[in-house]
Structure 1
């Protein structure tokens, strides 16, 4: 068909279908369709999902982490202009905005201009969900000093004070690299009365002994990552369902959980040093009954203290359905993880990743000694206590599997305990872009003959109907490994 006829057939579709198509694009790409005809120009004013991100205005092929300061200013201004233009061309109250998400940098007056445009839209339009992702333009924590944190927080609070209407209607807020004053976060939470999602990355209050106390009526997802806070107190969060707490300073009660009756998904990750106290999950998560648990170890020392099945631990794990053990150090006994299986009678899926990810690890021996990294990363558990039967587990997934005795003996233990196990997925070692070229001897059953031999080692003397899967990764397994069944307000920020 000729190009003109193809365009005509597309334009002949009902407006609601065309709007649905445009809603799947970012705002910059959707706006380009307005040059096709007057009809397409009007369609852009009906979009229900407005995702406006400064990095979307980068030239093709440029990474947002590599841009110059001048380029950052340019794309930031472009994001502000796009926000104002799109919102001013919409007819007030005519079409609901289901998501209004803006990502921008704390530079010049751009945040305030975006905030006022969004605030005006909240007054004149029906906006169901609104999100600010506030960036500082620095991505390596090691390159961020105290002055950067203080300056960033000062700019953010000026933005916050200038745009009360926008913050009063926000449902999601993503902040990074800020050093708040004593009452700043409390004021933000009070003003953002409809907030459902809050993410703090590399934020603190300038005092290692400081505590973050969180109370909110609507907050459902809280993410605190690499924040230098001595303690986080979840005093009263009646709607909180998802908690991501990664990278804490102290091991003596770094998290205090108060009234969180709906908490279902918990992700905990940290680097444990040789002198750090082991964490007892029965105490750490006391008062909760979670369904999804992710524990991350950053390829370093296991910081979880294996526990016998106490009444407290059984209460915490009584509803547990999915467990993801992330970045376990290589070469250490995995038997201790059986205590999680024993304490969670309803557990259906167990994922684990065994990986020394050298890109994220401190590999220099001298620096490891100076930083008190642990030489022995493993943890022991009384294997005699592992004599139990589990009737709910149906899926075991191991990333980084090798035909070594430690893996074989562990899988055999699971086969014996999990009497209804259906599928065992054994994947090879993962690699990222940075470590892809690093040569490493991997003992993985690549050939059919090796897999037959391995299955004999795994199942000899054991009655199990579990099916073993190797090689190509199944759809969804990698996503579950990284993100433990958490729903986000919008797609994850990944820019090329």
Structure 2
């Protein structure tokens, strides 16, 4: 208060500062400020980040998995209205749109209405980045019958054919639950000339189909749970990041052609007892990656340890960071040492040991019927006795316990990694949905940790510092390893 009058300090700020503040809100909240005054109405027309998502229009307390068809139609209509309202307020060519992102359901003519509005915006304004996230309203692969996949793909192609200007300006496309025609994906890539980020979830062209990818500007490609027999990265001169999760064949499922800039690779799969193990020297042949994630879904290790051959050394020669996720519990970890031997520049090694019951088949009869492996580990005890690694600085283990398999492994790393600086030993991960809670043997007390350090370092000369207790946010973020870095805020796939 000043002399009995209210002072509006927020409105006293210059326009560029207020626009920066509004850019940090979702569009629905930012639009509400337009009722404050004529000035605030004009500010909304200057926003540089327009993220319009169906998730922002859900009723309070309602999850996207619980909405009815009527509610879905209403939410989609609200997205159309918001898109039209926000884009028509802007003066043509006056302010650059740094990001124009829309997330909507593939229903009726709504996508076409949004696509045309976005196409008009691209014609009238400079749009640096544009994204479509197209949802089908199904959240489990088992919910989608083949006819549903085909119908959804046809609806998407109608949308695509009706809005060529919008797709021509897209930089990010996120698709799910679509069974395309044979040439549909190729046509989409040809039209989306500016595309940099492509994510396909449960998309294919029929059972055991082949996906061939060629694009001049694509830098991030994510292929998740797609029923593909083979993926061919034929010509992708700008590709830097690839996520490949859930392939069908263990015999030659990936062909890597011209991808000279590929440096971040994430591979996730569930191996059954009859699946052959993967040789990374062959799987990633022709690449020289810096950042590698391998995830095993708490089941059989599907990677075959290798001697450091010239081919493997070529693949790993630039490797700086490795994340081994959801390794099965109770098995020897020595096999991972082969990565150290083949990657002389490796700086950080992360691993998560966790039998996550929510994601596993726990019924013994079903495990036998579906050929889950009884022995999920892999043996490898061929580490050179005099092997030394001079670059590894950080070792992080989630799910550490006072068991011999962990203690022996950490001791091996301490001996080999002569410049190791920090060892972070965290307790097992917890999941709120898991019914069974396991009591692990973790050194919780100071006395237990002193005893553990003696077990780990007896007879070994190492200057590494041991860390226990609360997980550091930076470590958890690296362990989770988001699929592909999106242009907008890091959203979970599902709310």
**TM-score over 0.5 for the alignment?**
yes
Contact 2:229 2:247 in 1 (8 A): yes
Contact 1:338 1:386 in 2 (8 A): no
Superposed displacement of residue 381, structure 1: 1.2
Separation (CA, whole Å) in 2 of partners of 1:387 and 1:118:
62
Superposed displacement of residue 61, structure 1: 1.8
**Is 1:108 the counterpart of 2:102 in the alignment?**
no
Separation (CA, whole Å) in 2 of partners of 1:487 and 1:465:
36
Deviations 1:233-282 (A, max 9, x none): 00000000000000000011100000000001000000001111110000
TM-score in terms of structure 1 length: 0.97
Deviations 1:182-220 (A, max 9, x none): 000000000001100000001111132x21100000000
What are the residue-to-residue correspondences of 1:227-376 with 2, within 5 Å? 227-376=226-375
Separation (CA, whole Å) in 2 of partners of 1:63 and 1:194:
34
* 1:458 equivalent in structure 2: 456
Separation (CA, whole Å) in 2 of partners of 1:366 and 1:205:
33
Separation (CA, whole Å) in 1 of partners of 2:445 and 2:141:
43
Contact 2:221 2:484 in 1 (8 A): no
Contact 2:199 2:223 in 1 (8 A): yes
Separation (CA, whole Å) in 2 of partners of 1:366 and 1:323:
35
Separation (CA, whole Å) in 1 of partners of 2:275 and 2:316:
24
Q: Which consecutive residues of structure 2, in runs of 5 or more, have no partner in the other structure?
A: none
Superposed displacement of residue 67, structure 1: 1.4
Separation (CA, whole Å) in 2 of partners of 1:484 and 1:314:
27
Q: CA 1:194–1:336 in structure 2 vs 1: closer, same or farther (change >3 Å)? A: same
Measured on the aligned residues, the alpha-carbon RMSD in Å equals 1.4
Superposed displacement of residue 338, structure 1: 0.3
SS in 2 for 1:385: coil
Superposed displacement of residue 492, structure 1: 2.6
Superposed displacement of residue 143, structure 1: 1.4
Instruction: Give 2:445's match in structure 1, choosing from 441, 444, 447.
Output: 447
What are the residue-to-residue correspondences of 1:27-426 with 2, within 5 Å? 27-208=27-208, 210-385=209-384, 387-426=386-425
SS in 2 for 1:283: helix
SS in 2 for 1:168: helix
Separation (CA, whole Å) in 2 of partners of 1:441 and 1:119:
56
SS in 1 for 2:46: coil
Separation (CA, whole Å) in 2 of partners of 1:289 and 1:371:
36
Contact 1:292 1:484 in 2 (8 A): no
Deviations 1:13-43 (A, max 9, x none): 1111111111111101111111222111111
Separation (CA, whole Å) in 1 of partners of 2:212 and 2:334:
37
Separation (CA, whole Å) in 2 of partners of 1:127 and 1:79:
19
Separation (CA, whole Å) in 2 of partners of 1:9 and 1:188:
49
Contact 2:243 2:483 in 1 (8 A): no
**Is 1:470 the counterpart of 2:485 in the alignment?**
no
Separation (CA, whole Å) in 2 of partners of 1:13 and 1:418:
54
Deviations 1:283-303 (A, max 9, x none): 000000000000000000000
Contact 2:48 2:98 in 1 (8 A): yes
Contact 2:322 2:350 in 1 (8 A): yes
Superposed displacement of residue 7, structure 1: 6.5
Instruction: Give 1:490's match in structure 2, choosing from 474, 477, 488.
Output: 488
Q: CA 1:366–1:386 in structure 2 vs 1: closer, same or farther (change >3 Å)? A: farther
Superposed displacement of residue 439, structure 1: 2.2
Separation (CA, whole Å) in 2 of partners of 1:438 and 1:381:
32
Separation (CA, whole Å) in 1 of partners of 2:58 and 2:484:
29
SS in 2 for 1:85: helix
* 2:22 equivalent in structure 1: 22
Deviations 1:335-391 (A, max 9, x none): 000000110000000000000010011111111111111110001113343641000
* 2:477 equivalent in structure 1: 479
Moved over 4 A (4+): 4-7
Q: CA 1:461–1:5 in structure 2 vs 1: closer, same or farther (change >3 Å)? A: farther
Separation (CA, whole Å) in 1 of partners of 2:381 and 2:408:
15
Separation (CA, whole Å) in 1 of partners of 2:245 and 2:392:
27
Q: CA 1:34–1:368 in structure 2 vs 1: closer, same or farther (change >3 Å)? A: same
Separation (CA, whole Å) in 2 of partners of 1:493 and 1:160:
24
